[in-house]
Amino acid sequence: MHRTSRALAGAIAIVTAWSAAAPALADTSIEQTHITAQLSPGKISIGQSATVTGHLTADDATGTVPLANQPVTVYLLGSGRPAGQATTDGNGDYSFKISAAPGSTGQVTVFAAFNDTGADPAYTSASSTSLSLRVPVTRSFSGGEIRADAYGYVTLAGSFYPSLKPGAPVAIQFSPNGADHWKQVALAHADHDGYFRGTGYSGQSGWWRAYYPGDADDYPIAVDNYKNWRWNTHFTGFKARRAGSKVKVSGTLVRYFSTTRMGGFAGQTVQIIFRFKGKKTWYLIGHAKTNSKGQFSTKVKHYGKGYYAVLFRGTTGTWASSTAKTIYVRSAPAAPALTLSSALPGGIPASAPLILHTA
């Protein structure tokens, strides 16, 4: 039997609607009362309402009968006071609405009671089972950073307010249209300060966002979409052939300017890379710049028999690309033997060439 409300930390501030209670009916033949309660929904946002419904009955000589036109008090444990009263209808049913006030978050316990003050000794007091009402936290993105490279990797980092719990999951998602078909491409977790950082990959243009799925105490939230749109690039006419003690490398760098128009990409720097036959490591051995038509031509030192390719590292508006094939160049008949340490200016990862993207 609940007679007073109990204070709980982090209580929900509740706005309630009161209804007038009808006078109690005195009937000394009634020996015991019973009250039920249900809550729907059990989770609401600020400004939304939940409804407590139930049924009030009593036992008399003929059995269990509904009690009509009787006052039912709804209590919120944590609010510091009763929420208000409802009156049963002709079938003994009652209904009472509870709304979450601005700034309310957390959990509150709800129950209903009949004749709780003992004003009418003809009726025994009764209370329902306790129900749990949640008002989850609504968070906002408090800021962060977005980094995107020309190879399809995007890093999203930042924090939410209020801060996420340590270890809370934050999905890095990609969508080709920014409206639907969101796909998780990486999963980050909040650190002890609530800060997250995650890097995902997609080889096509589209939209990115960070998504916190929420839990029983938090609502989900998606960070504003970031559009990473880049035009495709590719090489045409790639050639590599021995020219005396050097190798002449040439070709054309082409880019899309729209979905229907493409042409030479002027004023861009491309990288010439090489690997020895039978080896896996690629080395950066030279650069060339494209002319007004996207064409480039340069001579690089001939280190021996091996494979040549060309890389373009991309821009803020275009994808990186590489030549679709490598060209094998044999050694010159009398070429001197050169060592890796003295001949080659530095290595690049073997995975660097032939990374192709689609717009």
Coil, helix or strand for 351? coil
Residue 106 included in any domain: yes
What pLDDT sits at residue 345?
40
What is the value of pTM for the model shown?
Answer: 0.64
Does 209 lie in the same domain as 247? Answer: no
The distance of Cα 216 from the centroid of its chain, to the nearest Å, equals 17
Beta bridge partners of 321: 312
Q: Which two tokens stand for residue 340?
A: 């890796």
80: containing domain: 14-135
> Per-residue pLDDT for the chain (359 aa), expressed as one digit of tens each?
333 333 333 334 444 444 444 444 444 455 789 999 999 998 887 778 899 999 999 988 788 999 999 999 998 876 555 678 999 999 999 999 988 765 566 778 899 999 865 556 678 889 999 998 888 877 888 888 899 999 899 999 999 988 999 999 999 999 999 888 999 999 999 999 999 999 999 989 999 999 999 887 788 899 878 999 999 999 999 999 998 889 999 999 999 999 899 999 999 999 999 988 888 888 888 999 999 999 999 999 888 899 999 999 999 999 999 998 899 998 765 444 444 433 344 444 433 433 333 22
Q: Are residues 36 and 119 in the same domain?
A: yes
Strand, helix or coil for residue 340: helix
- Is 8 within the bounds of a domain? no
Does some domain include residue 354?
no
Distance CA 209, CA 215 (A): 19
Which contacts qualify for 338-347: CB closer than 8 Å, 24 or more apart? Answer: 338/303, 338/304, 343/301, 343/303, 344/274, 344/283, 344/285, 344/303, 345/283, 345/284, 345/285, 346/283, 346/284, 347/281, 347/282, 347/283, 347/284
> Comparing C-alpha atoms, which of 59, 68, 1 is closest to residue 34?
59
Structure tokens that stand for 234 in this block: 């590719």
Residue 148 and residue 110 share a domain: no
Within 13 Å of residue 144, how many CA atoms lie on the same side as its CB? Answer: 22
Domain count, the chain: 3
Instruction: Say if residue 237 is in the same domain as residue 224.
Output: no
Asked if the structure places residue 355 within a domain, the reply is no
Last-in-domain residue among 228, 261, 293: 228
Tell me, what CATH number does 160's domain have? 2.60.40.10
- Same domain flag for 108 and 190: no
